[in-house]
Amino acid sequence: MSANGKETIYVDIDDDITGIIDKVRSSQEKIVALVLPKRANVLQSIVNMKLLKHTADDAKKRIVLITSEASLLPLAGAVGMHVAKTLQSKPVIPDPPQMQNSMISVNEDETEVIDDGIDPNKPIGELAGLPSNEEETIEVGDDDEPVKPAAAGAMGAVSATKQAINKKLKIPNFDKFRIRLALGGVGLILVIFGWYAAFYIMPKAKVILKTDTQSATINNTFTADPKAKELDETKLIVPATLKELKKTDSQKVATSGQKDMGTKATGSVTLSLNDCAQPQVTIPAGTTVSAANLNFLTQADVILKSVKIGNSCQNSSFKDFSTASVKVAAQNAGDQYNLSARAYNVSGFSNVTGQGSNMSGGTSKVVKVVSQQDVDGAKQKIIEQTGATVKTDATDELKHEGYVPILDTFTAGNPLITSSPNVGDEASEVTVNATVTYTMLGVKEDGLKKLIENDAKKQIDTSKQTVTDNGIEKAVYRILDKKQNGEMKLSLQTVVVAGPQLDANAIKAEVAGKKRGDAVSSLRSRPGIKDAEIQYSPFWVYSTPKNADKITVTFEQNNTNNGNK
């Protein structure tokens, strides 16, 4: 490295062209001296020499090759690159190879060397910023041997290579190559995985066996007890569980309520006492007085006193004692309360009458409000919508935990309801939120299966037959009684199918890995099997998977004791 814009780089015998290019690009100096080892094969190619020259031009650098290899000189001259025998020698551009019959024409702009900053009269060591009295002379060849043109054989090779020099030399795009290589690798992995999935993961087989079978109808009554831990075959008590699922949902509906938000009509009513049965009558504030089916409320307490002279009631003669005027206001807003003067009935006081003045000031402004009916309707929609989903979820969870779900026991608890806005508030729509707890009873499948098979064994010949279908999936359940401790008494009705004693696992092992024809023939030869069929999936599968987990065995009823098919 030099402070004068020059750098010396030593090339190893094992360096390839990309390594040399990287070294040139990483140099921070304008002039780069490449000291080549003997037999630098990497630059014996005109293509590599062109790549090196092209890289230097792109990076605005000037390269000087330090070498005395005779075979390299014509190639350097062909691309217009400087060469020096040592770091102390003056750099020159060797003569290009002599082309016979002028077969090759070199573009002037390709052979022209822009020699910015290079003094051909100075040694390369001085150009590289090395003191002449300290720099060791590096000999890469015999100094006494004159620089000669390449031998005829080499010249012929160069001449043949130069025929493509008119074409624009391009540097390979290694980034695109790496991307294509990576994509190819990913594609290969996907192909391998797809092949493995198609022939080892996806293939399945369903073995359908038609056997001589007998059906038996089972009617049973048992108790499902969430507190029981084990099956009690004597008392017919089966362990059970009560699955609870809480669901919160919301429903937005348009409001249907109406409310008059106008002003209330006001006026006054004169109250009169009709008899003297009571010495004094008190009419409290808020008493309803009505006319024309419209109600008004008194705004203050009123006391009416009886005046009796002798045996006669003198109300009409002593009005100051038996009458009183009180202000009233309409019960609701609305202009229909603007009534003319008329008589009023006093609610709760049969011995008091009223005479009202003109009522005025009532105005109407009808708006939509939230009604209780709106909230109840939204609540019902939430229960219906969430109930179906929760029922399916509860059923799946019970089955996964080893229980038979009793669908008739599915119930929804009292929902917790909130609404926004509240009932009576002005709004065009209301959002109702409901949190509902749903419950469903599940009966332990193993215990239920045991009870059914116990009943079935009473109807079949257990020495020759075994239960092939316990009928649990098709059973019909009815609730007979519920207790507060969670117990339920249930009835069960189903049909059990019994057939020859066949081991499904043994059948799987027998057909695993066999082709369809061989497997079917083997199964049909078994005692008790009338017919056999194997269905494969996907469509490209033609033999039974070797993995027994990929094989399912089902038994179909062929003949029954009463001749049904």
Residue 114 pLDDT more than 50? Answer: no
**313 versus 91: which is more confidently predicted?**
91
Q: Mean pLDDT for the chain?
A: 81
Q: Greater confidence, 89 or 163?
A: 89
The length of the chain in residues reads 565
Decide if pLDDT at 344 tops 90: yes
Q: pTM of this prediction?
A: 0.42
**Contact yes or no for 201/549 (Cβ under 8 A):** no
pLDDT band for 399, please (50, 70, 90 cuts): very high
How confident is the model over 341-362, as a mean pLDDT? 93
Tell me: the pLDDT tens digits for 26-52? Answer: 888 888 888 888 877 888 888 888 888
For residue 168, the model assigns a pLDDT of 47
Percent of the chain topping pLDDT 70: 81
**pLDDT reading at 257 higher than 70:** yes
- The ranges assigned to domains in the chain are 6-171, 173-200, 262-364
* Whether the predicted pLDDT of 153 surpasses 90: no
Task: Find out whether 554 and 207 touch, Cβ atoms under 8 Å.
Answer: yes
Residue 197 pLDDT > 50 = yes
Helix, strand, coil content of the chain in percent (nearest 5): 25, 35, 40
128 pLDDT band, cuts 50/70/90, is very low
Give all strands of the β-sheet with 62-66 in edge-to-edge order.
6-10, 31-35, 62-66, 82-84
**pLDDT of 229:** 92
Q: Is the pLDDT of residue 310 over 70?
A: no
Residue 470 pLDDT more than 90? Answer: no
Cβ count near 169 (within 10 Å):
15
Q: What is the DSSP letter of 129?
A: T
Contact 41, 121 (CB under 8 A): no
Is residue 142 scored above 80 in pLDDT? no
For residues 311-334, average pLDDT: 75
DSSP, collapsed to helix, strand or coil, labels residue 178 as helix
More confident residue, 468 or 496: 496
Q: What is the mean pLDDT of residues 340-361?
A: 93
* Out of 14-23, 151-160, 479-488, 510-519, least confident range: 151-160
C-alpha span between 386 and 377 (Å, rounded): 14
Q: Which of 283, 282, 274 is nearest to 307 (CA)?
A: 274
Q: Which residue has the tokens 């309520």?
A: 257
Give pLDDT tens digits for 169-183.
Answer: 556 667 788 888 888
Q: How far apart are CA 339 and CA 363, in angstroms?
A: 12
Residue 495 scores a pLDDT above 70: yes
Please give, one letter per residue, the 3-state secondary structure of 190-242: HHHHHHHHHHHHCCEEEEEEEEECEEEEEEEEEEEECCCCCCECCCCEEEEEE
Residues forming a β-bridge with 258: 368
Q: What is the pLDDT of residue 120?
A: 55
More confidently predicted of 223 and 318: 223
| pLDDT interval class at 222 (50, 70, 90) | very high
Fold for the domain defined by 262-364: Elongation Factor Tu (Ef-tu); domain 3 (2.40.30)
Asked if pLDDT for residue 254 goes beyond 80, the answer is: yes
Lowest mean pLDDT of 387-396, 463-472, 483-492, name the range: 463-472
DSSP state for residue 398 in the 8-state scheme = H
How sure is the predictor about 133, in pLDDT bands with cuts at 50, 70 and 90? very low
Would you place residue 121 in the very low, low, confident or very high pLDDT band (cuts 50, 70, 90)? low
- Tell me the pLDDT tens digit for each residue of 523-556: 888 777 878 889 888 888 878 888 888 899 887 7
Tell me the CB-side half-sphere exposure of residue 393, using CA atoms within 13 A: 12
**Closest by alpha carbon to 93, among 127, 58, 65?**
65
